[in-house]
Amino acid sequence: MTEFSEWFHNILEEAEIIDTRYPIKGMHVWLPQGFKIRKHTLNILKEILDEDHEEVLFPLLIPEDELAKEAIHVKGFESEVYWVTHGGLTELNKKFALRPTSETAMYPMFSLWVRSHTDLPMKFYQVVNTFRYETKHTRPLIRVREITTFTEAHTVHATREEADMQVKRAIEIYETFFHELGIPYTISKRPEWDKFPGADYTMAFDTLLPDGKTLQIATVHNLGQTFAKTFNITYEALEGEHEYAYQTCYGLSDRVIASIIGIHGDEAGLCLSPAVAPYQMVIVPIIFKKGGEEVLDFCRKLEEKLKGEGFRVHFDDRDIRAGKKYYEWEMRGVPLRLEVGPRDIANKKVVTVRRDNGEKEFMDFNPETFIEDITSLMEKINIDMNKKAWKSFEDEIRTVESIEEVKKTMDELGGIISFDWCGDESCGKDLEETAGVDVLGIQSESEDGKVCMNCGKPAKHVALMAKTY
Ligand code: PR8
């Protein structure tokens, strides 16, 4: 693949995902194709969240004093906040922030809603746009200033144990979601210096883009009682006393779409799984001088039949060369192409060509079994794409035992490095500086007798590091 970032920019444009020419840095326009991928992706997530969360919608603006209430939180975000200072020509006496995230919008309301232990747990989510004045290099879908697909969940619980359990549940939710999309990931506990501002701890999902750098694609935060104390979220316990609640929040963004595009794509362009593809199949008629009408008629009926079964199908009957159509639909990532020519009709066959591996099959066109066969082929494509992505991801995780090896591995291969670590902040930061990497976080406990790869002290954790976006 040509240089990833160039490929990525080109494909966003060619496949009409987003238009990056909007005249504000870090803010883009979703085009119909991109919007459909976004919609199908969100639908998968919403279906999972809807099982035990309620969807809500909070205002975009946050009063200055609410945003400022939680000191650690505001410190983490102050350099990234956009402010509304005027209403028309009138200067506002209280500024409003455009939400960078919605803790300080939601929690004053939670304080009104939570009364008794019987109100708990509360689990809400919303899909909104959030604004962050990012100072690092912005990149479409990856680091934006208007995050348009911010899916944030916020939960309130009676006990610390329940909040911990919710963190586990949120991790499960994202695992299910990323498996459906075929996005491989590591899960780690972020180091203290990289946790969400105001959180007790942060669990993060990272994936790997083809240039060897990791991308944080979702985070789950245990907020403990910090925000509950700041926003006075209390409940009446069984014995009538008032207790502060425990909270969690978790979220993801447009980066999920960036990962779908970046991880599965190839030299020919996008490669989408049937789960998110705007068109899951395209029907291309193969027309010769004779028998053209018969082919077109067959294709129309085929399209109707597949649509009737709920598939997203397009019949490409444009009067251009079939090869040109193949090229175009491959670039747009359509998972399956169905080709129908006069000979196929005579043989009661339909030719299927998979986008993910190019496999061509002469499928029996038996009205009894055809839909079943297509359905299982679609499922197979999803599974194979997931497997392939996981395989190449796992190949990029390497265990390394010396700092020299880290540098060599990073320079030559990139990817993710697993290593034994003492867990000290000073050692971690030193490692980040000397090796030019980020410590992603902790995965598990070290085996007895292991020493820290960087400082040589007894190791506590197996941790991960990588070059990151
Ligand atoms: C929270 N509060 O906000 P988080 N461009 C694209 N994606 C981004 C960007 C950006 N500029 N910044 C962050 N993300 C919590 C949890 C409510 C929900 C993505 O957490 O600040 C990252 O994938 O960690 C990040 O993991 C996710 O948004 C949530 O943001």
- pLDDT tens string 171-219: 999 999 999 999 999 999 999 999 999 999 999 999 999 999 999 999 9
C-alpha torsion 155→156→161→167, nearest 10: 10
How sure is the predictor about 367, in pLDDT bands with cuts at 50, 70 and 90?
confident
Rounded distance from Cα 168 to ligand 1 centre (Å): 19
Predicted local confidence at residue 1, as pLDDT: 52
Of all atoms in ligand 1, which is nearest to the CA of residue 215? 23
Mutation choice for ligand 1 from 155, 255, 257, 469, CB with most ligand atoms inside 8 A? 255
The whole-chain average pLDDT of the chain stands at 96
What's the gap in Å between 216 CA and the centre of ligand 1? 8
Pocket around ligand 1 at a 6 A CB cut-off: 101, 132, 134, 143-144, 147, 152, 196, 216-219, 221, 249-255
Distance CA 274, CA 305 (A): 18
DSSP state of 468: B
Could you tell me if the ipTM is greater than 0.95? Answer: yes
Question: Taking the chain, what is the end-to-end CA distance rounded to the nearest angstrom?
Answer: 19
In contact, 251 and 217? CB cutoff 8 Å: no
What's the CA gap between 209 and 186, in Å, rounded?
13
User: How sure is the predictor about 290, in pLDDT bands with cuts at 50, 70 and 90?
Assistant: confident
The CATH class given to the 281-375 domain equals alpha beta
Per-residue pLDDT, averaged over 300-319, amounts to 97
Residue 2 has a pLDDT of 58
**Closest ligand 1 atom to Cα of 134:** 11
Q: Are 3 and 269 in contact (CB under 8 A)?
A: no
Three-state secondary structure call for residue 62: strand
Q: Are 355 and 337 in contact (CB under 8 A)?
A: yes
Number of CB atoms found within 10 A of residue 296's CB: 15
Residue pLDDT, tens place only, 42-57: 999 999 999 999 999 9
Ligand 1 nearest-atom number relative to CA 132: 11
Q: Average pLDDT of 386-415?
A: 95
Instruction: Name the residue with the closest Cα to ligand 1, atom 23.
Output: 217
Give the Cα separation of 244 and 377 in Å (integer): 52
- Reading the block at residue 308, the tokens are 């009737």
Is the pLDDT at 153 greater than 70? The verdict is yes
**Strands 90-98, 461-466: parallel, antiparallel or unpaired by DSSP?**
unpaired
Query: Residue whose CA is closest, atom 14 of ligand 1?
Result: 253
Nearest to 207 by CA among 390, 13, 398: 390
Question: Who has greater pLDDT, 366 or 225?
Answer: 225
Q: CATH number of the domain at 399-466, please?
A: 3.30.110.30
Query: How many CB atoms are closer than 10 A to CB 349?
Result: 18
pLDDT confidence bin for 238, thresholds 50/70/90: confident
Residue 75: name the closest of 252, 250, 226 by CA: 226
Asked whether the beta carbons of 241 and 229 are under 8 A apart, the reply is no
Tell me the C-alpha to C-alpha distance, in Å, between residue 5 and each of 1, 11, 142, 210: 10, 10, 11, 9
pLDDT band at 291 (very low <50, low <70, confident <90, very high): confident
The single residue listed with the structure tokens 């009364």 is: 115
Q: How much distance in Å is there from the Cα of 205 to the middle of ligand 1?
A: 11
Residue ranges per structural domain of the chain: 4-264, 281-375, 399-466
Q: CATH class for domain 4-264?
A: alpha beta
Ligand 1: centre distance to CA 132 (Å): 10
Instruction: Pull the structure tokens for residue 50.
Output: 């809807």
466 φ, ψ (degrees, to nearest 5): -165, 165
Are domains 281-375 and 399-466 of this chain identical in fold? no
**Residue 3, token pair as written in the block:** 């240089």
DSSP for residue 366: -
Q: Which atom of ligand 1 is nearest to the CA of 145?
A: 11
Letter for the amino acid at 123? K
**Shortest-distance Cα residue to atom 12 of ligand 1:** 143
Residue 65 has pLDDT above 80, yes or no: yes
What's the 413 CA to ligand 1 centre distance in angstroms? 27
pLDDT score at 25: 97
Q: What integer is the mean pLDDT of 216-236?
A: 98
Q: Residue 14, Cα to own-chain centre: how many angstroms?
A: 22
Calpha distance 458→422 (Å, rounded): 6
HEC string of 238-251? CCCCEEECEEEEEE
Å from CA of 165 to ligand 1 middle: 21
